[in-house]
Structure formats: structure tokens, C-alpha cells
Structure 1
Amino acid sequence: MASPSANTVALIITPQPIPASELSTLTTELVDLLGNLQAGTSLTSRQLSPTAIELHLTLQSCPSNLRECKTLTDTTPLKKFQAQHNLSALIIQPATLHAAHRTPGLIVFDMDSTLIQQEVIDELARRVGKYDQVSAITEAAMRGEAPYTDFAASLRARVGLLKGVPGDVWDGLKKDVITFTPGARELVKGLRQAGWKSAVLSGGFMPLAEWVQAELGLDFALANFLVEEEGLLTGELLEGKAIVDGAMKATVLNELAAKWSVEKESIVAVGDGSNDLLMMEEAGMGVAFNAKEKVQERAPVRLNAGAGGLREVFWVLGYSDDEIQELTK
């Protein structure tokens, strides 16, 4: 938890354990770069893990929200600091927001390349020999590139290429293709134990989203619906069902928060694509997880996780390894 007098919390995550001999140098350098430590106050630190440390400090000019914090971390000196030390993340946040993460809230995930390691629509396309075509559209859409800045248009273009895929394709994907991102089960289990609600909001498809929900024990799932006739996909989206694009994700996030009486400061959104940015902005903590560069540039917070995968989101929320072990045992 944040020091009672601190108004700012900085989190440093590194790919490798931080040697004790380097820790003091690293923290001193960061404080010097921030440059406005309030006179008469002291820096305190909290080691969350061998690769994650929190710094609690009182700044003369305290950032009031994540946008102001990101403006700070995106300054040239701090960008150089992150590159020089090969940081997985440098996350600065107001102490009040950090404290809010300790109140059980709502965490919402994207599915493809976030909770799972694949892009499902690409895997479906493999079944009809159209992987290259669909993947090219997927990549352009994820980067937010024209003419696929409109998610609905890009989705319809890709779904149209899936005509003729057998309707039982989902069973094969679940059995042989889909793999969960390292740390996904641990993160959801631990936060559930701590009292959090959880959801997956996906621009993918309901058969997989419902399966992911069941496998992980999520409280809610929403994705797109495909039309199937005579055992084959028609290449169409089900009429009357809203497309789950970025705007829909943000809307549903707010609806779930209202349903479960969760304050904005206690909402976390995790995703990797441009269609996750709106829900990241709506959340108290929006995390671009191993995201495309353009998404990282625009997201409130970026985390380039290592082998721990989604487990590292625990650190972003202020949980130490000892606390994580207790929650997930």
C-alpha cells in the first residue's frame, strides 16, 4: 500500500531480477529525472518481486490522473531511462488511484492475444486456406491502419472470407490450437479470490468467448455471433446482434460497473489492440498488454510482460508475490 504521505507511486518492472547493488542507483536516477520531489519528504520503496519495485514519493507537482502520468513517462529523458534499463514497464500513478486498486473491483479483458495467445479469426481462416488474406486485414486493423480503422468494416471483410468453414471447427480449436496466455488462470483466480468481478469483451466470436469464460471462471463474456447453416459458416454476422467493437466494449464495461456497483477508479481494462483503447480510457487503469506500438503510444499504461505473462498485472495493481501466492494457493 502507498505510504500515507506519498502522493505518487512509481512502479518499475524489469525482465530480469534487479541486483541489490543496482537498485539504489536505479531509483535515485528515476527520482532525479522526475526532478520535483517535495522538500522534507523521503522516498520509500516496496519490493513486490525480484523484478518489480514500487517507489512511493511526494512530488511538488503531483499528476492527478493517468493521462498526466503518461505525459510524464513519455518525456524524452524518461523514455531514454526506460530504454537504457530495458524496462518492461514504468508506470506512474497518483497514490489515490493506487489505493483504489486494493478495493475489489472489475477487471475486463480482451480475448485474442490477451487472455489467449492466438487471433481466432486467423486460425479459422487457416481451415479454408485464407490465412494470409485474413491475417493481413487483422494486422492492419490492430494497428488502426486505413482502410480498416472502422472495426466493423474490417470484421465483415474477414468474416466474409470464412464462408464454408465447418460449424464444429470450435472443438478442434479448443483441443489443438488455443492456448491461454501464461498467468491468465492465475490472475483471474487470484483476483476472484480477492473479491473482484471479471469479464471478457472480445471482437472475436461467442463460441470461444463462452469457453474462455467457463475455463477461467469469468463472470461475463461478450463477443460476435456468426451465422451457421447446414453445419457450415455462411461468412456472415448474425443480424440483430451488435458488433463488439471498441465503442461497444467501452459501453459494456460501464454497464457492468454500474451493475456491480464498481467505481471507475476500481475498474481495470487489459487489451492489446486499437479496439481496446476506448475501454482502457473508460477504466481507472487501462493496460496495453504486449500491444502493438501504436496502441502502446495511445494507451494510458503499457506493460511489455515477460515470462510471467498476465501474472504481471498483479504488480500493476500493487500486489506482491507473497500476496499473489496467498490468493492463488
Structure 2
Amino acid sequence: MASELVFLVFAKTTLSDSQWRDLPREIITILEDAMGAERNEGPSSRFLEEGRVLELSFTTSSPPMTLKECAVFCHTSAMELLEKTHQVEVVMQPGKLYSLHKKPGLAVFDMDSTLIQQEVIDELARAVGLYDQVAAITEAAMRGEAPYTDFEASLRARVALLKGVRTSIWAELKAGTITFTPGARELVRVLKRLGWKTAVLSGGFTPLANWVKETLRLDYAYANYLVSDPDLNILTGELVPEAPIIHAEHKRQMLLQLAADNNIPAEQTIAVGDGSNDLLMMGVAGLGIAFHAKPKVQLAAPTRLNSSSLLDVLHVLGFTKDEVNDILEEAPQP
């Protein structure tokens, strides 16, 4: 049974013409050696972005590979050596999945360190001089390390430290602290123009998640609710009791629910995040992308991307730079 495989090669530095010529042969040789895959056709290649992002596709006589199997292959020692030698990053997908990306679907994003560059709970902690204590818990939780593998427990421990933070902090963060990740605005503009539904599913907090939703014109926002004292205008260090905790399983459930609500097959969903709290939604999505994620998350995620701009997600979906630029010219500014 023939199956198509697609490799996207992202250059981290300027590559010579000979390197670009050699890379397809080297990648296919590694695949043939590792999988016993024999080529039926190809390879065919084109630049999605001239001199920086190469699309390589070919068909093999081997059974179709799953996205998970593609991820395992990309982490083999031979592929890691190729990436190190040529200073590239390789994203591999089954051809059938890659072709689905041209259809509008559902894109869900983590917020902290994904759509925005900060960890909001850390910024709240700065306001009461507890940054080091809260940041240490945040980092351990993002890496999935004990005793903070239980997201809810780590969240409650950090929130308790925020008792006394003035609620005016939200306006201060929006005005001078929170910055969007490069390419986030443009990525959402293109997806919306193409007819995608978009959402932020955050383990952070609703005042910022709703602001991100409104600023980027996302369709949905889900995050955690903090209790505040309306008389003192301070946070109480508690979570709203009846509100759901946006942990890993809840993110997974929300992705599936939003897809079902919009009659979108799971195969036509993408999930982008950076922490262990995002792995379940990445795993259930048609395509999960760990963007500048922690090392353990990159190893466990279906795909990973460490480029300088979130806009490169569109290359992972198969769009060329020219196509993206044309869409941006047509898409309204948020």
C-alpha cells in the first residue's frame, strides 16, 4: 500500500545551495534505513519560503504512518544529527493529514508563553514580591515534575500566594507588560480569513484570556476564575468554587466539544501550546504543535516548532509565504 509523507525543513541559519540539494536525499536515506521504506514516487520539493522553509514529499510502498510515528522518527538519533549538522528543524506529517490543512477547521491555542510571551501568574506574583516562589512552581508544573504533576494542586498553591494583589493589576498588565508572541496577530488574521474557528484555552485567568480573545478577535476563550474582594479591590487568593479548572483534561474536552459544536471533524483541528498541560489537547487534535515548548513536552508532542514567529504555523499547514502575504493584505486588522 502506497503512502505519502511530507517533510517541512525550517532553516535556522542561511543554508548553501548544496545543503538544500543534499537535504532531501539525506532525509530519505535515513527514512529508508530506519523504516525499510522504499520510494514509489518522488521526491518532489518546493520552497514555502525561499531559502528558509522547504516542503519535501514522496510516496513509499510502506503502510501509512501515523502522526505519532512521524514524531518518533523525527526524534531518532540520525534525524537529530541531521538537524544539528545543517542547523534545521524538520516537521514530518502523513500526506493525507497534510492535505486536510487546506480546509477550514478549528485552531485552539494555549495563552501563556504561546499567544503571549509572559506567564501571567508570574507577573501577578511580581506585584506582591513573590515572583521567585511562584515562578519556581510554574516552571516545575510546565515540565510536569513532581509534586506538581497535578495541575490543579499547583494552580491552587500559586493562587494562594496572590492574596492581596490589587485588581487594578489587570489594567496595568494590559497597558505595559503583556506582549503578544511575534506572528500571533497575523496567524489569527489569516486563519479567520480562511474560515477557521479559533479559541484560547488557558490555564491562566479570565481577565487576560478575554482580553486576548477580544484583541485577536478569537471566537472563544476559556480560563480560570479568580475570586476578588469587591470592597477592598484585591484578590483573595482563591479560585471561584463552582467554575471548572482549565487543566489538561478540560482542554482536551473543550477542543472536542468546540469541534463538535461547529461540525468540524477532529482531524481538521490543530492545537498549539508549550506546556505539559497542553499535551492532551495536542494529542487529540488532528495536529498538535509544541511551540518553543519545554524539552519533555517537545519529546511527547505530535510535532514541535521552535522558529521565531507563530506565523510559521501556517507553513506547517502547507501555505507559502506569498499565499500568507496575499491573505494578510485582504484580512482586516484586529
Asked whether the 8 Å contact 2:201–2:222 carries over to 1, the reply is: yes
Deviation for aligned residue 1:251: 0.3
Instruction: Give the equivalent residue in structure 2 for 1:14.
Output: 11
Give the share of equivalent positions with the same residue, in percent.
51
Residue 264 of structure 2 is aligned to residue 259 of structure 1: no
Distance (Å, rounded) in 1 between the aligned partners of 2:76 and 2:57: 20
Deviation for aligned residue 1:180: 0.2
Instruction: Give the equivalent residue in structure 2 for 1:64.
Output: 65
Residue 202 of structure 2 is aligned to residue 168 of structure 1: no
Deviation for aligned residue 1:319: 0.6
Extract unaligned runs of 5+ from structure 1: none
Deviation for aligned residue 1:37: 5.3
Secondary structure (helix, strand or coil) at the match of 2:166 reads coil
Instruction: Give the equivalent residue in structure 2 for 1:294.
Output: 296
Q: How many residues align?
A: 322
Secondary structure (helix, strand or coil) at the match of 1:149 reads coil
* CA shift digits 1:125-146 (9 cap, x unpaired): 0000000000000000000000
Residue identity in the other structure for 1:99: S
Distance (Å, rounded) in 2 between the aligned partners of 1:23 and 1:130: 49
Residue identity in the other structure for 2:43: L
Secondary structure (helix, strand or coil) at the match of 1:58 reads strand
Deviation for aligned residue 1:60: 2.3
Distance (Å, rounded) in 2 between the aligned partners of 1:134 and 1:8: 43
Residue 198 of structure 2 is aligned to residue 198 of structure 1: yes
Residue 232 of structure 2 is aligned to residue 235 of structure 1: no
Instruction: Give the equivalent residue in structure 2 for 1:111.
Output: 111
* CA shift digits 1:83-114 (9 cap, x unpaired): 22222x31111111001101000100000000
Residue 121 of structure 2 is aligned to residue 86 of structure 1: no
Distance (Å, rounded) in 2 between the aligned partners of 1:9 and 1:98: 7
More deviation in 91-100 or 155-164? 91-100
Asked whether the 8 Å contact 1:37–1:58 carries over to 2, the reply is: no
> What TM-score, normalized by structure 2, do the two folds share?
0.94
Instruction: Give the equivalent residue in structure 2 for 1:303.
Output: 305
* CA shift digits 1:4-51 (9 cap, x unpaired): x86111111112343323211111111111115535522100210031
Residue 20 of structure 2 is aligned to residue 23 of structure 1: yes
Instruction: Give the equivalent residue in structure 1 for 2:75.
Output: 74
Extract unaligned runs of 5+ from structure 2: 330-334
Secondary structure (helix, strand or coil) at the match of 1:42 reads strand
Distance (Å, rounded) in 2 between the aligned partners of 1:177 and 1:6: 48
Residue identity in the other structure for 1:190: V
Residue identity in the other structure for 1:78: M
Asked whether the 8 Å contact 2:40–2:59 carries over to 1, the reply is: no
Distance (Å, rounded) in 2 between the aligned partners of 1:29 and 1:96: 23
Instruction: Give the equivalent residue in structure 1 for 2:332.
Output: none
Asked whether the 8 Å contact 1:70–1:92 carries over to 2, the reply is: yes
